[in-house]
Structure formats: structure tokens, C-alpha cells
Amino acid sequence: MRRSTAAAVGTLTGAALILGVRLSVQPVGAPVAAEPAAQEVTEEPAPDESSAAAKKPAAKESSKGKASAKPTEEAEDESGLKNGTHQGKAVQNPYGTVQVTIKVSGGKITSANATYPKTGFSGTINPNAVTKLGQETLKAQSAKVDTVSGATFTSQSYVTSLQAALDAAGA
């Protein structure tokens, strides 16, 4: 009789603990299916560049998935990058397509803009990953950026598309 009572109390205590833990954890809301979002990371231009950059119109981009360069200016600096907006190829991975567009001013990458999948679990991982990748791009001024943990496929696709954009910019 004592054993059955102890077993029943133990079972009920364990069940209560499991339910308590499950009830205390709130599930993440499922992301709504949407168009691929664009994430833009920009670097503040130097004071002498801000007025010139503000007066130049941006070129329209093609989303056909191939490397294309539509520079707004045809000047080069020491880095060998042509000023303007340059789009990398769209790179497909198991979770969707990533495409990077860079803006070059004064021979330096001043912004990195990327479209990426926002459906399913990608919607919770990609926004932070693409922001980090964009910041690393501005620091490195090249495609040599670290992979973001938890977003391996997105990181690899981003770097491939970024390299295509740099190639289009003449790097």
C-alpha cells in the first residue's frame, strides 16, 4: 500500500512539473508568409560625400537572378570598386533565395541591401542574420565575412551573392 501511494504521488508530481514547464513557455508566433524582405545596412557618408550622394538618383535594379551592374556613377577609387549600385546574383538555398545589392561611394561599400526568405522558421532567423552580415560587409569591405551561427545556408548564399555584386562593381 505504501509503495502504490508513493508511486501515485511521484507520478502526479512529475506530471505537474511537466505541465508547469510547458505552460510557462510561450510559443513563438508563426511568421506570416510574405514577399522576401529587403534588409538594408548603411554606413554614414563622410560630410563631403553626403551632399553629392543625396543628389544622385539610384538606378533601378533587375531581379532576374543574374549579376548585373547599373552604376549611378562611373568613377573608381583606389579600391577598384566603381561607384554606384551593384546587384549580385540571386542564390537559391533549401530555405529560399538570397540576393545582395551593394552601394559603392568613394570606392567603398556604403550599404549592403539583401532580399531573403521570410516564411517559416526563416522569418525568425534571417532578419538578424542579414543585419549582422551587412554590418560585417561594411567592416570588411569584401566578401570575407563570418558565417552567422544558426543561419549557415543564408550566410553562404549571402556571401556568394555579395561576391557577384563585388565582381560586378569591378573588385
Residue 108 lies in a domain: yes
Residue 162 lies in a domain: yes
Residue 14 lies in a domain: no
Q: What is the CATH number of the domain that holds 148?
A: 3.90.1010
Maximum CA pair distance of the chain?
90
Identify whether the C-beta of residue 161 lies closer than 8 Å to the C-beta of residue 112.
Answer: no
Q: What CA–CA distances, in Å, run from 77 to 49, 51, 57, 105?
A: 13, 18, 20, 9
Residue 115 lies in a domain: yes
The whole-model pTM stands at 0.57
Identify whether the C-beta of residue 102 lies closer than 8 Å to the C-beta of residue 76.
Answer: no
Cα–Cα distance for residue pair 23/14, rounded to 1 Å: 14
CA angle 57, 61, 65 (to 5 degrees): 165
Per-residue pLDDT of 92-132, as tens digits, reads 988 889 999 999 888 888 999 898 888 888 888 888 899 99
Give the sign of the dihedral formed by CA 106, CA 59, CA 123, CA 149.
Answer: negative
Residue 4 lies in a domain: no
Residue 148 lies in a domain: yes
Cell of 98: 538570397
**pLDDT at site 133:** 92
**Residue 107 or residue 44, greater confidence:** 107
Could you tell me the residue range of the domain that residue 75 belongs to? 37-168
| Number of structural domains found in the chain | 1
Residue 28 lies in a domain: no
Q: Do β-strands 96-105 and 108-116 pair in parallel, antiparallel, or remain unpaired?
A: antiparallel
What is the mean predicted confidence (pLDDT) over 68-97? 70
**pLDDT at site 50:** 43
